[in-house]
Each structure stands twice: as structure tokens, then as C-alpha cells.
């Protein structure tokens, strides 16, 4: 019996996922895809703990097969030895009906966060009338513990942009020691979602952007707006100690990283790490991810991890630590 690997990712991201897997896992052969779900044929057995073949995979694991009804699903899940069943929509646009699948008895708790080492049975629900897709993966600390790779964060109504969620997801996923009293420099800070998140955590935020911050963010005593482009930023404008560098500019990754590299001699001595959003306006940038990682390492941040976060769109989050 041939074995298959599967990945889920937000719809529209499949080209990036396929390109990345073709580069990182050339032994896998693309087999099947639906919006939000891709499978590959493997030359041999696929283990539950198979390392994700792409940073664009929100869930990665062993593909088990399709099930038309609860009984068929139960039969596929039973041999997996799963400690958890994660039920989630393949594509949020399809009005997937999750209820029948969250209520059926698959022999393990449904939609609880996985613990390290647990085998999770993934039940991927498509459009009404479509069979569900069953997969399995073993949870480890590098993977989000919630169904579908979700990273739950509380976003307050006052958040002026999606960047609030992006920042909180990055901190939660990478377990970053971001703490009150630290100092953050954010390049590309308007309208101020990430700045609000950091300021709410008690950080002092230096927000660089020629654009306006939302008035209620600009009014915070621990947010300091520097209304210039990063290229015009002078070192004398910055505080002596910066703990975290945040980058979220709509510039090509090479250009954005060039600007960061220019600042690094000033930041390096004190910096704990960086949260960088790299925009992938051209899918060709997917092939350049290893070069971007190398570039970040050369800046003195050797521990670089990439992940497409739930609130990322055509972009990828790089977390880099000293
Ligand atoms: C995706 S938005 C940033 C969202 C922001 N991080 C937040 O939390 O709301 C991108 C921002 O990059 C800014 N930007 C573009 N080029 C820039 C540059 N050269 N220097 C600084 N900011 C720049 C834009 O003005 C825009 O506000």
C-alpha cells in the first residue's frame, strides 16, 4: 500500500506549500489537492512524527484517507492510537459542518490542545456532502497544539490592525520571553496593531513608520512614534537598549532585510531577538527562504525559525533569537 503525507494550509497558499515541499522533500510526489489540503505520495512509510515538509503547513502528518460517515471515520481512526481527535474545516469558506464530527465518538477527546508526544487524529471537514479527510500526526513543541494549527489569541476591539494577532501568535508559537519593562523597536508600525499589543504587555515601543498611528495608540505614554522611513532613521533617535526588533514593512524581503542589517551594529549588543514578517508578493521568494534565513543569521541572530501563522496572509513570520 503506498503511503501519503498531507498538509493543511490556508486556501490560496497552496502554490507556496507545493514549491516549498518540492524543494525540501524532493522524494515526495504531489498526489492530490483541494483548497486548504494537499497530499503527497511517499516512497516508503510516513511516520506520525514526520517533520513538517514546509513552513506553510499549518498541520503536517500521515494521510490516512477519506471517510463518508462516522462509522467509516471511526474505523480509520481506531488503529491510530490517537490521544486526541482534532476536527477542523479544510477551507473556512465552504460552510463546513463540524458539529457531526465533533460529536461522534472516535474514542478520544475532541478538539482539546495536544500535549507533547500525543498522536492526534486529524479530521479535516470539507464542503457539506464531501467525505472528511483523516490524517494523523504526533504533537511536538514546534507544532501549535490546537486543531488545524490554530494559535488562539485574544484580540481586543481596539486593535487597529491584524498585526496585533500576528504579533501575539508569534510570541505564543515561539514562546518568546517578551516581558514588561523591555523595549521594542518596530519598523513599519502604522496603524499600530503590534505596537498596541506590545504596549499592553508593558513594553516601551519605538514605532517607525511615515504613516499615522491610530490616535488611541499614538496617545499611549509607552508608544513613541518616529514618523520617518526606516532608511532615514538615525541611531541617535533610538534608545540605548532595544530588546526586541519587530519588522512588518510592505517592502520586498531583500530590501527589508537590508534595512534591518543596517541597524544591527547598533542593536546587536542588547537585542534578545526579532520578529520579522517577510512579504511574499512573488512566490519566487519561497525558493529564497533559505537565503533569507542565512541573511538573518549573519546579522548575529543564529536561532531562526519560520512559520506561516494563522493571521499571516501572503507573508511568513521569522522569529530570530541570539
Ligand atoms: C503591514 S503595515 C504594518 C502594520 C503594523 N505593523 C501594525 O501593527 O499595524 C506596513 C507598513 O509599512 C510601512 N512602510 C513601508 N515602507 C516603509 C519604510 N521604508 N520605512 C518604514 N515603514 C515603511 C507602511 O507605511 C505601512 O504602514
Confidence of residue 273 (pLDDT cuts 50, 70, 90): very high
Rounded mean pLDDT, 265-291: 96
Whether 104 has a pLDDT exceeding 90, the answer reads: no
**Domains of the chain, first to last:** 3-149 (3.30.2130), 163-321 (3.40.50.150)
| DSSP-derived secondary structure for 186-243 | EES-TT-HHHHHHHHTT-EEEEE-SSPPPHHHHTSTTEEEE-S-GGG--GGGS-S---
Q: Kindly give the number of the ligand 1 atom that is closest to the alpha carbon of 210.
A: 25
User: Residue 105 has what pLDDT?
Assistant: 87
pTM over 0.95: yes
Rounded mean pLDDT, 170-184: 98
Q: How far is the CA of 190 from the centre of ligand 1 (A)?
A: 6
- Dump pLDDT digits (tens) for 280-317: 999 999 999 999 999 999 999 999 999 999 999 999 99
Q: How far is the CA of 247 from the centre of ligand 1 (A)?
A: 8
The owner of cell 548575529 is 300
Q: How far is the CA of 191 from the centre of ligand 1 (A)?
A: 8
User: Residue 72 has what pLDDT?
Assistant: 95
Asked if residues 168 and 153 have their Cβ atoms less than 8 Å apart, the reply is yes
Name the closest-CA residue to atom 6, ligand 1.
189
Name the closest-CA residue to atom 20, ligand 1.
229
Q: Kindly give the number of the ligand 1 atom that is closest to the alpha carbon of 249.
A: 12
User: Residue 2 has what pLDDT?
Assistant: 85
Q: Check pocket membership of 210 for ligand 1, CB cut-off 6 A.
A: yes
Share of the chain above pLDDT 70, in %: 100
Q: Check pocket membership of 251 for ligand 1, CB cut-off 6 A.
A: yes
**Cα–Cα distances in Å, from 33 out to 47, 172, 229, 252, 287?**
21, 30, 42, 29, 21
Q: Check pocket membership of 191 for ligand 1, CB cut-off 6 A.
A: yes
User: Residue 142 has what pLDDT?
Assistant: 94
Mean pLDDT across the chain: 97
Name the closest-CA residue to atom 27, ligand 1.
190
Q: Rounded distance, CA 117 to CA 83, Å?
A: 9
**Cα–Cα distances in Å, from 313 out to 14, 187, 264, 277?**
12, 19, 27, 10
Whether 1 has a pLDDT exceeding 90, the answer reads: no
**Cα–Cα distances in Å, from 308 out to 170, 316, 317?**
10, 5, 6
Q: How far is the CA of 72 from the centre of ligand 1 (A)?
A: 50
Amino acid at each position: 500500500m503506498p503511503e501519503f503525507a498531507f498538509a493543511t494550509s490556508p486556501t490560496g497558499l497552496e502554490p507556496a506549500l507545493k514549491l516549498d515541499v518540492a524543494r525540501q522533500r524532493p522524494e515526495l510526489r504531489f498526489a492530490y489537492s483541494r483548497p486548504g489540503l494537499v497530499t503527497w505520495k511517499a516512497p516508503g512509510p510516513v511516520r506520525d512524527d514526520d517533520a513538517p515538509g514546509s513552513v506553510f503547513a499549518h498541520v503536517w502528518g500521515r494521510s490516512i484517507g477519506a471517510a463518508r460517515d462516522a462509522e467509516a471515520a471511526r474505523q480509520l481512526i481506531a488503529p491510530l492510537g490517537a490521544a486526541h481527535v482534532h476536527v477542523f474545516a479544510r477551507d473556512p469558506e465552504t460552510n463546513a459542518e463540524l458539529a457531526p464530527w465533533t460529536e461522534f465518538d472516535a474514542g478520544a477527546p475532541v478538539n482539546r490542545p495536544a500535549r507533547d508526544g500525543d498522536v492526534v487524529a486529524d479530521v479535516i471537514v470539507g464542503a457539506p456532502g464531501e467525505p472528511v479527510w483523516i490524517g494523523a500526526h504526533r504533537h511536538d513543541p514546534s507544532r501549535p497544539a490546537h486543531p488545524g494549527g490554530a494559535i488562539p489569541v485574544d484580540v481586543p476591539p481596539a486593535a487597529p490592525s491584524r498585526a496585533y494577532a500576528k504579533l501575539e501568535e508569534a510570541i505564543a508559537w515561539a514562546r518568546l520571553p517578551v516581558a514588561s519593562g523591555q523595549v521594542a523597536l518596530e519598523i513599519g508600525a502604522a496603524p499600530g496593531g503590534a505596537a498596541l499589543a506590545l504596549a499592553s504587555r508593558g513594553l516601551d515601543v519605538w514605532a517607525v513608520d511615515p504613516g499615522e498611528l491610530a490616535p488611541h495608540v499614538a496617545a499611549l505614554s509607552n508608544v513613541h512614534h518616529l514618523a520617518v522611513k526606516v532608511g532615514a532613521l538615525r541611531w541617535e533617535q533610538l534608545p540605548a537598549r532595544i530588546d526586541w526588533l519587530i519588522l512588518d514593512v510592505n517592502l520586498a524581503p531583500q530590501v527589508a532585510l537590508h534595512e534591518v542589517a543596517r541597524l544591527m551594529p547598533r542593536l546587536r549588543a542588547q537585542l534578545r531577538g526579532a520578529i520579522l514578517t517577510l512579504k511574499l508578493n512573488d512566490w519566487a521568494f519561497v525558493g529564497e527562504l533559505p537565503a533569507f534565513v542565512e541573511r538573518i543569521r549573519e546579522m548575529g541572530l543564529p536561532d531562526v525559525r519560520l512559520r506561516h501563522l494563522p493571521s499571516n496572509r501572503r507573508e511568513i513570520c521569522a522569529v530570530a533569537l541570539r
